[in-house]
């Protein structure tokens, strides 16, 4: 079954959310902001992974290059464009941001 993931990247930890083709959350986890930890979680938690999205930011270039090297189907989304969608939630947390970003990745 196809699934989609999103990363809400911070200096120390990264919130990851994986959703299925219908938008249901399949897995969520906070992992260290380390390409190996992110790749390991995605490899085990997301069979059929189609696309992984993350916002632009201070760590985006480094992390994008490291994940692409590990054959993660990563895309980058402009933080200014995703900001409008993320503001819709009344409670803003890394977990909620990752879930909302995963829906954006799923719907294209």
For the domain that residue 39 is a member of, what is the CATH number?
A: 3.30.420.40
- Rounded Cα distance, 34 and 63, in Å: 8
**Rg of the Cα atoms in the chain:** 12
Predicted TM-score of the model (pTM): 0.87
Supply the mean pLDDT for the chain: 89
Query: Where in the sequence is the domain holding 38, given as residue range(s)?
Result: 3-107
* Confidence at 16, pLDDT banded by 50, 70, 90: very high
Per residue, the 3-state secondary structure of the chain, as one string, reads CCEEEEEEECCCEEEEEEEECCCCEEEEEEEECCHHHHHHHHHHHCCCEEEEEEECCCCHHHHHHHHHHCCCCEEEECHHHHHHHHCCCCCCCHHHHHHHHHHHHHHC
Taking a C-beta distance cutoff of 8 angstroms, is the pair 83, 56 a contact? Answer: no
pLDDT tens per residue across span 18-47: 999 999 999 999 999 999 999 999 999 888
- Rounded Cα distance, 67 and 34, in Å: 10
User: Number of structural domains, the chain?
Assistant: 1
Residue whose token pair is 């897995």: 27
Position 85 scores a pLDDT of 67
pLDDT tens per residue across span 42-60: 999 888 999 999 988 899 9
């Amino acid at each position: 079954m196809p699934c989609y993931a999103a990363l809400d990247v911070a200096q120390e930890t990264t919130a990851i959310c994986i959703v299925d083709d219908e938008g249901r959350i399949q897995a969520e986890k906070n992992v260290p902001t380390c390409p190996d930890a992110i790749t390991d979680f995605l490899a085990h938690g997301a069979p059929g992974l189609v696309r992984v999205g993350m916002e632009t930011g201070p760590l985006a270039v480094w992390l994008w290059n490291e994940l692409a090297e590990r054959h993660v189907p990563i895309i980058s989304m402009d933080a200014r464009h995703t900001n409008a969608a993320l503001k819709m939630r009344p409670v803003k947390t890394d977990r909620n941001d990752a879930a909302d970003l995963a829906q954006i990745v799923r719907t294209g």
